[in-house]
Amino acid sequence: MTKRSRTVALCILGAAAFTLSGCREEQVDAQAFPDLESCKEAAAGGDGLLTAADCEAAIAEAEQLHVETAPRYDSLEVCESQHGEGACGSEEAVASGGSGSIFMPLLTGYLIGNMLSGRGGYARSQPMYRTADGKFANASGSNVYSGNSGKAKLGANQFTKPPTTIGKTPMTKASVASRGGFGKTGGARGGYGG
């Protein structure tokens, strides 16, 4: 091999390595909490990634996302088949101004990510919902976790805002069956809890 062709080969190899490393998703420190009090206790004990003020802001964001992006079902029966008995409420009860004939799962936790490295970083959050098998999932059902408390390193994309479900046709028994059920189409699986 001539000197020029070795240089070209090294440049191509270097560019390929750079491209592959650029595809690797950024990992962020994340923590799941069942409620605001748990988050504040972790912050006060120095155990968490957040301050009490971060907890309040992140959980308020997750609650707003819940109203905008929670899965919506055409009946209580379909909702409970996906989230468990007693784990659903009417849209009207969950979000003011909603319809009493549409049902949504109740919030069962909050997933909060530290989007900048180090304490005091920018926090993003996601609502968490119980799945029919007793696990927990984000609003889209694409990520399922074994529990709703604990710490992990997660991909930053898990904090992308899910599409809004307000005003969309609620899921029916047939549409739920066609996608395999809530939380069944997911990719990444987290390891919170036991």
The per-residue pLDDT for range 152-189, each reduced to its tens digit, is 888 888 888 889 998 899 999 999 988 888 866 433 33
Q: Is residue 38 part of a domain?
A: yes
- pLDDT bin (cut points 50, 70, 90) of residue 190 is very low
Quote the pLDDT of residue 13.
37
Domain holding 132, by residue range, is 25-179
- pLDDT bin (cut points 50, 70, 90) of residue 100 is low
More confident residue, 48 or 185: 48
Q: Is residue 101 part of a domain?
A: yes
List all residues 6 or more positions away from 103 whose beta carbon is below 8 Å from its beta carbon: 72, 73, 74, 75, 76, 78, 79, 88, 89, 90, 91, 170
pLDDT in tens, 53-89: 989 999 999 999 999 999 999 999 999 999 999 999 9
Give the phi and the psi of residue 35 in degrees, each rounded to 5: -160, 175
Domain count, the chain: 1
pLDDT in tens, 124-134: 899 999 999 99
pTM: 0.75
Q: Is residue 62 part of a domain?
A: yes
